[in-house]
Chain A
Amino acid sequence: MAALERFLGDDVAEIYKNAKFLSEQESKNDPEDEPYRSKYKARELYKEISSRIKDKLTGISNVDSEEFKTLLILSVGVDQIIGVNFMDTEELAEGEDYLMSCLKRIEENKLSQAVTLHISVLNHLGILWSQRGNLEKSMEFLTKAEQLYHNYKENVGDAPETLTELLEQVEGSDSERAHLRCVSFENTHTLTLYYLAQVYGKVDKSELSAKYCHMTLQRQLQAGNFNPIDWALNAATLSQYYLTAEKFQHARHCLASGSFIFESAKKNIEELCEQEEELQRQREADLDRCWIKYGLGLLEASRDKMLSELQENEDEDLEGNTKDGKENSASHNADKHSRKSSINGEGSPEQTDKDDKTFHQFPLELTLYEERITDKLVRTFDDARKIFLFVVDKINSAKQFYSLDSHASDAVEIIQDHSRAYKLLAFFELDMSRQCKMHKRRIDMLSSLLKELNPQYYLLVCRQIMFELAETYSDMVDLKITLIEMERTRATAYSTAKVNKLVQQSIEKYQEYVDSLKGGKPELPAEFPENDVRPALVAFFCMGRLYSKLLEPEIEKRIAAISKSLECYKFVVDYCEAHPSAADLLVNELSICKEMVSLLPLKMDRLREQC
């Protein structure tokens, strides 16, 4: 028999049952104009129970007796329920009064066996202050709750009594009840961590928030009561956070854990109904997509690292050159190599050490999943290629669910990722004609995608693709020109024509993008939509550059190209004059455009003088 019934009789136990039903079940059916009707009714019943317990308490003289202590805990427990009820009905001030008095009584009477209740009260106070928008205070209570759990675990250890077993009859053997106590205690702590994760997230302490999300996932895993598909997806989502923080080791660990849990819970298609099967396939594809982003993130970080190293070296070279002229170039190269290796050698282990201390791995055997892809930055084409192949594999797998015909937006994004994978791989490819071929692949897949999409519904995506196509053609222009340069011979008619063709295609795509801003009207709007100001002006800027790249042997054609180029630069300058706010979006480009606008006419004059 539960304590409530034992000490106060079955009528009070009955009132409790009613109150609980009203609060948890009936409240869902409350009408729109009386949304808290059942909650109010339940509150009155709880209040009655509370006063009955208090009456009983005043009648007991021996405050050290077991009965007194139990009733005291019951009293605090019921008052907590009332406090929460006030919170549910948006009466925070009353809720706070009740919860604070609960807290006071627990502390004053040193009710250490009611630790689960104690933590729960602190949790609710944390929630209460978050609802009032005072996250500092919320954090204070939640941190106290967290500390309390650890103190109890350290000093006492066994599972503490729960409020539920005082209020209601709990079935089962002693060991089963002990287990329930344990579960309830641990779950209350999990909630503390989960709430802390949210509070940290809201005060922009992302790193801490991620840590507490991770701990929440960890505890769900330990407790064993979780939905494996949700858990897998949450772990994969967390990996995306670590990815943005460039913690590839953590990111891979979370993703591998997600895949592991998903695979072990995956069911045969025969066991599932149509909707479940669809969901399972979708979640599998979602995991693939997280892996895709992981691979791309790793390639991107590798590229950025190399670029920044190159930049440093260039700066150094520059310094060296001013001092010693050209003679030193050989020794400078030697420097480069030694510096690179030292960066790799020293930097990473230190960092990993620090991270390892705070990062607790999930207790799962993940070798199978983790050995498929590295978590280290790469430097060579061969290593980059391995990541690339892994990414392409995941892309093909994700596309099976996210097909263009049924999930167009998602499929588009996956194809864009595919293009990005080629682009990143091209960075690591030393052979320029092979780089060109990779860009050609991008052009092929993006062009055919663009043809499929109806701009009425996918205008913004179409614009992205047009812009990327323009950039890709432009990349190829630069590569082809460099190739011609490297051959150290006169350009053939063929290669000149090829460059000119690519220049034209790039300009065409930029123009197509710019034209899409006309919105069906013959002229461009006087002002571009906010998000398109920079891209549109950059498009003009790039077109200006491209026109000057045309290889025209005849002076007149050359002058015509320069004048087109001038028009583009002039557009940027004029636009920024008319809309001064735009100037801030492209400070560097604008100053170049201004210079070009003043220089190009002079150049054209000079050229004219010649013919």
Chain B
Amino acid sequence: MAESVKVIVRCRPMNDREKGLKCATVISMDSGRGQCSITNPSDKRAPPKMFTFDGAYFIESTTDHIYGEVAYPLVEGVTEGYNGTIFAYGQTGSGKSFSMQGVTIPASQKGIIPRAFSHIFETISIKQATKFLIHASFLEIYNEDIRDLLGKDVKHKLELKEHPEKGVYVNGLSMHPVHNVTECEHIMNKGWHNRSTGATLMNADSSRSHSIFTISLEMITRDSEGEEHIRAGKLNLVDLAGSERQGKTGATGDRLKEATKINLSLSALGNVISALVDGRSKHIPYRDSKLTRLLQDSLGGNTKTMMVACLSPADNNYDETLSTLRYANRAKNIKNKPRINEDPKDALLRQYQEEIAKLKAMLAGQIPLEPGISGTDKRQDSPHDLDPVREQLEHEKQKLKEEYEEKMTEIKTAFEMEKSNKAKLQQDMDKLRTFYDSKVQSLDSRLVGLPTTAQVLGEEEMVELPPGDNEQS
């Protein structure tokens, strides 16, 4: 996963020449804290300049120790299918090749490169059910031209390409299969040799060029269902052009360029102008150097990256050493390049404040409870927030229903009451009627012998009332 570059500094012991010149030591380190400070020999009263790194290794340190602490996890990652990059940086004679190539005696000072080789081949020899294909390539960048140090023609310029699936690659760069540490070392030496002869051929100074040695691992595993899975990891070993020349040649990657000096040649006008834009925003993508491009995922991508900056302790190297420390310090601060540019969230935040206010009001019972948090306010009465509206309606419906039912029961009870009243009435009426009937009958019977009133009055027959109906009216 993406993490920034891990930078360590290592200071070599004073060499015989420096001892002979009776040089003073200007570097001091606090390894526990990763701190390194440098004293200005021409201004002893000035406070020493302090730098903090991911590791600070003083004169007595061993490469074995450094490898175990920093490089081991990085190379281990490569054998698991990740990419790893190790940069070496420092002026000529600062112990760069001592750290990278190293010596055979004592074994503790074997270099980072041979250790990485053994590490890779040892790891893969014990991995079962995995087939490994390992290739090495070696290229050089000089004055923005890329050349293959293992190719047929060292002078031939190669092109940088970038494929969405494969990433950045150098078109036509030769890949050489390697099967063991010896083959790896052999091919690396061949490249070194070509680098110096090539430099002579082209009248170029190889110390002004960067070189990248790459070991590519392809891992093929077969799973239990017999299906093949391919993973690929890469280890880049980068030798950066020495600091003593970068100001003059501009050879160093543009992201690490020197900060204070004026560029003398008008050919660098483009750099001056783009420096104006760089700090503000990334509007000029075409100015990246080849080195930056090639290592774009190392300088802030899906790669583990470490830089070893090598220092001399002697006072007569003060300027160069300070410049190396500054360079390393800048490398530490390299930020992952493509950052996420979010949309401004102001409008969103404002909406939220309103929502929260509403939610609080809701919970306090001031307004009816809503199910969803609506996007904005003033929608309470609009059909936008369907759920609240529906909710409200439901609520009302419920209320209405309850009300209805209540009324219904009221009416029902009233009705029932009426009904029972009515029944009693009926009974009474019936009784009354029977009573009357009997009375009437008895009367009738008593009347039988008498002429009807009508008859009496000469009118029509008497209208007979229907039983129990007209009584109430």
Contact B341 A464 (CB under 8 A): yes
**Cα of A535 to Cα of B338 in the assembled complex, Å:** 13
**Cα of A551 to Cα of B263 in the assembled complex, Å:** 63
Contact A599 B356 (CB under 8 A): yes
Query: Does any Cβ of B come within 8 Å of A485's Cβ?
Result: yes
Contact B338 A488 (CB under 8 A): no
**Cα of A520 to Cα of B302 in the assembled complex, Å:** 11
Contact B340 A459 (CB under 8 A): no
User: A289-B285, A460-B2, A603-B362 given as contacts; is B373 within 8 A of A548 (CB)?
Assistant: yes
In chain B between 227 and 273, which residues have their CB closer than 8 angstroms to a CB of chain A?
232, 244-245, 259-264, 266-267, 269-270, 272-273
Query: Does any Cβ of B come within 8 Å of A184's Cβ?
Result: no
Contact B273 A244 (CB under 8 A): no
Indicate which residue in A220, A244, A481, A589 contacts B349 across the interface (CB closer than 8 Å).
A589
Contact B269 A216 (CB under 8 A): yes
One digit per residue, 1 when the CB lies within 8 angstroms of any chain B CB and 0 when it does not, for chain A 305-317 equals: 0000000000000
Which of B50-58, B59-67, B158-166 makes up part of the contact surface? B158-166
**Cα of A257 to Cα of B342 in the assembled complex, Å:** 34
**Cα of A371 to Cα of B113 in the assembled complex, Å:** 59
Cβ–Cβ < 8 Å partners of A487 in chain B: 383
Contact B203 A28 (CB under 8 A): yes
Contact B272 A198 (CB under 8 A): yes
Query: Does any Cβ of A come within 8 Å of B152's Cβ?
Result: no
B369 to chain A: closest CB distance in Å?
5
**Cα of A553 to Cα of B340 in the assembled complex, Å:** 36
Contact A244 B2 (CB under 8 A): no
In chain A between 99 and 128, which residues have their CB closer than 8 angstroms to a CB of chain B?
126-127
| Chain A, Cβ-Cβ closest to B348 | A545
Query: Does any Cβ of A come within 8 Å of B448's Cβ?
Result: no
Query: Does any Cβ of B come within 8 Å of A482's Cβ?
Result: yes
Cβ–Cβ < 8 Å partners of B128 in chain A: none
Query: Does any Cβ of B come within 8 Å of A418's Cβ?
Result: no
Contact A589 B273 (CB under 8 A): no
User: A552-B371, A602-B363 given as contacts; is B273 within 8 A of A202 (CB)?
Assistant: no
Cβ–Cβ < 8 Å partners of B159 in chain A: 278
Query: Does any Cβ of A come within 8 Å of B337's Cβ?
Result: yes
Contact B284 A237 (CB under 8 A): yes
Contact B349 A588 (CB under 8 A): yes
Indicate which residue in B165, B264, B369 contacts A610 across the interface (CB closer than 8 Å).
B369
**Cα of A487 to Cα of B384 in the assembled complex, Å:** 9
Cβ–Cβ < 8 Å partners of B349 in chain A: 588-589, 592
User: A130-B262, A519-B1 given as contacts; is B276 within 8 A of A456 (CB)?
Assistant: no
User: A198-B262, A464-B340, A490-B386 given as contacts; is B162 within 8 A of A409 (CB)?
Assistant: yes
Query: Does any Cβ of B come within 8 Å of A199's Cβ?
Result: yes
**Cα of A491 to Cα of B388 in the assembled complex, Å:** 13
B145 to chain A: closest CB distance in Å?
10
In chain B between 299 and 317, which residues have their CB closer than 8 angstroms to a CB of chain A?
300-302
**Cα of A294 to Cα of B276 in the assembled complex, Å:** 16
Cβ–Cβ < 8 Å partners of B319 in chain A: 90
Cβ–Cβ < 8 Å partners of B92 in chain A: 32-33
Query: Does any Cβ of B come within 8 Å of A252's Cβ?
Result: no
**Cα of A90 to Cα of B83 in the assembled complex, Å:** 40
Indicate which residue in A209, A530, A535 contacts B276 across the interface (CB closer than 8 Å).
A209
**Cα of A35 to Cα of B247 in the assembled complex, Å:** 14
Query: Does any Cβ of B come within 8 Å of A230's Cβ?
Result: yes
Cβ–Cβ < 8 Å partners of B297 in chain A: 457-459
Which of A54-62, A166-174, A187-195, A259-267 makes up part of the contact surface? A187-195
Cβ–Cβ < 8 Å partners of A602 in chain B: 363
One digit per residue, 1 when the CB lies within 8 angstroms of any chain A CB and 0 when it does not, for chain B 362-405 equals: 11000001011101000100111111001000000000000000
Contact B300 A460 (CB under 8 A): yes
Contact A293 B283 (CB under 8 A): yes
Query: Does any Cβ of B come within 8 Å of A133's Cβ?
Result: yes
**Cα of A535 to Cα of B332 in the assembled complex, Å:** 22
Cβ–Cβ < 8 Å partners of B385 in chain A: 485
Cβ–Cβ < 8 Å partners of B338 in chain A: 460-461, 463-464
Contact A409 B296 (CB under 8 A): yes
**Cα of A178 to Cα of B93 in the assembled complex, Å:** 50
Query: Does any Cβ of B come within 8 Å of A148's Cβ?
Result: no
B210 to chain A: closest CB distance in Å?
15
Indicate which residue in A195, A290, A459, A549 contacts B372 across the interface (CB closer than 8 Å).
A549
**Cα of A538 to Cα of B302 in the assembled complex, Å:** 22
Indicate which residue in B168, B260, B273, B390 contacts A241 across the interface (CB closer than 8 Å).
B273
Cβ–Cβ < 8 Å partners of A217 in chain B: 269
Cβ–Cβ < 8 Å partners of A606 in chain B: 363, 369
Indicate which residue in B207, B266, B356, B362 contacts A595 across the interface (CB closer than 8 Å).
B356
User: A406-B161, A407-B161, A454-B166 given as contacts; is B336 within 8 A of A531 (CB)?
Assistant: yes
Query: Does any Cβ of A come within 8 Å of B277's Cβ?
Result: yes
Cβ–Cβ < 8 Å partners of A237 in chain B: 270, 273-274, 277, 284, 287
Contact A191 B283 (CB under 8 A): no
B340 to chain A: closest CB distance in Å?
4
Contact A32 B261 (CB under 8 A): no
Cβ–Cβ < 8 Å partners of B261 in chain A: 130-131
Query: Does any Cβ of B come within 8 Å of A70's Cβ?
Result: no
**Cα of A452 to Cα of B164 in the assembled complex, Å:** 6
User: A458-B167, A517-B1 given as contacts; is B273 within 8 A of A213 (CB)?
Assistant: yes
Cβ–Cβ < 8 Å partners of B343 in chain A: 471
Cβ–Cβ < 8 Å partners of B275 in chain A: 201
Indicate which residue in A133, A456, A485 contacts B167 across the interface (CB closer than 8 Å).
A456
User: A238-B273, A488-B382 given as contacts; is B2 within 8 A of A592 (CB)?
Assistant: no
User: A241-B276, A460-B338, A548-B372 given as contacts; is B359 within 8 A of A490 (CB)?
Assistant: no
Residue from B272, B280, B341, B343 with most neighbouring chain A CB atoms (10 Å): B272
Contact B3 A529 (CB under 8 A): yes
| Chain A, Cβ-Cβ closest to B391 | A610
**Cα of A329 to Cα of B276 in the assembled complex, Å:** 47
Query: Does any Cβ of B come within 8 Å of A180's Cβ?
Result: no
Contact A194 B266 (CB under 8 A): yes
One digit per residue, 1 when the CB lies within 8 angstroms of any chain A CB and 0 when it does not, for chain B 161-200 equals: 1111111100000000000000000000000000000000
User: A127-B264, A413-B285, A478-B375 given as contacts; is B161 within 8 A of A241 (CB)?
Assistant: no
Cβ–Cβ < 8 Å partners of A206 in chain B: 276
Residue from B1, B203, B336, B353 with most neighbouring chain A CB atoms (10 Å): B1
A326 to chain B: closest CB distance in Å?
12
User: A194-B272, A555-B371, A606-B363 given as contacts; is B382 within 8 A of A471 (CB)?
Assistant: no
Query: Does any Cβ of B come within 8 Å of A74's Cβ?
Result: no
**Cα of A340 to Cα of B174 in the assembled complex, Å:** 64
Query: Does any Cβ of B come within 8 Å of A164's Cβ?
Result: no
Contact A467 B384 (CB under 8 A): no
**Cα of A245 to Cα of B37 in the assembled complex, Å:** 40
**Cα of A471 to Cα of B342 in the assembled complex, Å:** 8
**Cα of A609 to Cα of B218 in the assembled complex, Å:** 60
Cβ–Cβ < 8 Å partners of A406 in chain B: 161-163
Query: Does any Cβ of B come within 8 Å of A240's Cβ?
Result: yes
Residue from B207, B341, B386 with most neighbouring chain A CB atoms (10 Å): B386
Cβ–Cβ < 8 Å partners of A408 in chain B: 162-164, 167-168
Contact A482 B384 (CB under 8 A): yes
Cβ–Cβ < 8 Å partners of A453 in chain B: 164-165
Can you report 7 A-B residue pairs in the complex whose CB atoms are below 8 A from each other? A131-B260, A190-B266, A241-B277, A406-B163, A558-B372, A599-B359, A603-B359
4 further A-B contacts with Cβ under 8 Å, apart from A538-B345, A545-B352, are A127-B264, A206-B276, A244-B277, A561-B372
Q: Which residues of A contact B (CB under 8 A)?
A: 28-29, 32-33, 35, 90, 126-127, 130-131, 133, 135, 138, 190-191, 194-195, 197-199, 201-202, 206, 209-210, 213, 216-217, 220, 230, 233-234, 237-238, 240-241, 243-244, 275, 278, 282, 286, 289-290, 293, 404-410, 413, 452-461, 463-464, 467, 471, 478, 481-482, 484-485, 487-491, 496, 517-520, 525, 529-532, 534-535, 538, 545, 548-553, 555, 558, 561, 565, 588-589, 592, 595-596, 599, 602-603, 606-607, 610
7 closest cross-chain pairs (CB), A and B:
A485-B384, A457-B167, A519-B1, A240-B283, A548-B373, A459-B302, A408-B162
